[in-house]
Every structure is written in structure tokens, then in C-alpha cells.
């Protein structure tokens, strides 16, 4: 009775494993990039909704700041923020849009120049978060 494997069997197994990994790794990387960009887009949408609700609950204007490094909102005129979270750059997603501040009135409607477009990308994956003046938010894939 023989124990172990021959050199030819080991070489064949390593060759097959190398081919499988060569095919799977790029696809896993692309999927990881797509999931990271989708998560960053959801975080911007969630921050928008949270700031809108905070304006209604506090009956005061709330300013939402969206930048690559952070997502935060605070009451208008206040120095202390109500909420803060890391921005898309924290998960390796780049935001090509400039930082924006969106102001919500106490009734939850955006005030001033509140139209905004946030372009997010990582690798070949990209998403665009579009905020309308009336507070509608949509995420598109180019």
C-alpha cells in the first residue's frame, strides 16, 4: 500500500489551482470594488435622510456636510455637530465631486442651492448620487 503522492500529481494539482485562482481573483476584486462603491452611495443617501429627519424633529434648520473624508450634520448656527460618520474615502472610494453643504428647513425641505451630484468610484466601479432641491435622492450607475 502506497502513502503520499507523486511529483507529477502535485504539479498537476498546483497547475489547476493556479488557473482557477487566475480566473477568480480579478472577478472577486471587481465585485469588492462594486460593493464598496454601492455602500458609500448608501451611506450618503442615509446621511441625507438622517439630516432631513433631524431638521423636522428639532424644528430647526440642519446643515448636512458631504465630503470625501466625512459625512456630518449639525443644527444651523450651532458649533457642536449632531452626527458624524466617515466619508467614502474611509473605505477606499474616491469622490470626485467637491464637498457640499445641504441645508434642510424645519419642515424637511431643502433650502438654497441644494441640488447636488456626488460621483463615487473605485477601480472600474462607479455610482452617482443625485440630490434634487426638493429632497429626492437617487443613485445611478453610469
**pLDDT at residue 58, as a whole number:** 94
Mean pLDDT value of segment 111-136: 89
C-alpha cell at 124: 472600474
Contact call for residues 120 and 90 (beta carbons, < 8 A): no
**pLDDT at residue 111, as a whole number:** 85
In angstroms, the CA 33 to CA 36 distance is 5
For 58-106, the pLDDT digits (tens) are 999 999 999 999 999 999 888 889 999 999 999 999 999 999 999 999 9
Helices (H), the chain: 7-58
Q: Where are the domains of the chain?
A: 7-140
Report whether pLDDT(26) > 80.
no
CATH class of domain segment(s) 7-140: alpha beta
pTM: 0.82
Closest CA to 48 of 29, 62, 59: 62
Report whether pLDDT(1) > 70.
no
Amino acid at each position: 500500500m502506497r502513502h503520499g503522492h507523486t511529483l507529477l500529481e502535485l504539479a498537476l494539482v498546483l497547475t489547476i489551482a493556479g488557473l482557477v485562482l487566475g480566473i477568480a481573483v480579478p472577478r472577486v476584486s471587481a465585485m469588492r470594488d462594486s460593493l464598496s462603491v454601492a455602500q458609500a452611495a448608501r451611506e450618503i443617501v442615509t446621511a441625507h435622510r438622517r439630516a432631513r429627519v433631524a431638521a423636522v424633529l428639532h424644528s430647526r434648520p440642519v446643515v448636512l456636510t458631504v465630503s470625501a473624508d466625512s459625512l456630518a450634520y449639525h443644527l444651523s448656527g450651532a458649533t457642536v455637530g449632531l452626527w458624524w460618520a466617515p466619508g467614502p474615502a474611509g473605505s477606499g472610494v474616491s469622490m470626485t465631486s467637491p464637498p457640499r453643504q445641504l441645508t434642510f428647513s424645519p419642515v424637511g425641505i431643502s433650502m438654497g442651492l441644494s441640488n447636488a451630484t456626488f460621483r463615487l468610484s473605485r477601480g472600474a466601479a462607479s455610482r452617482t448620487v443625485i440630490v434634487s432641491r426638493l429632497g429626492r435622492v437617487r443613485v445611478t450607475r453610469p
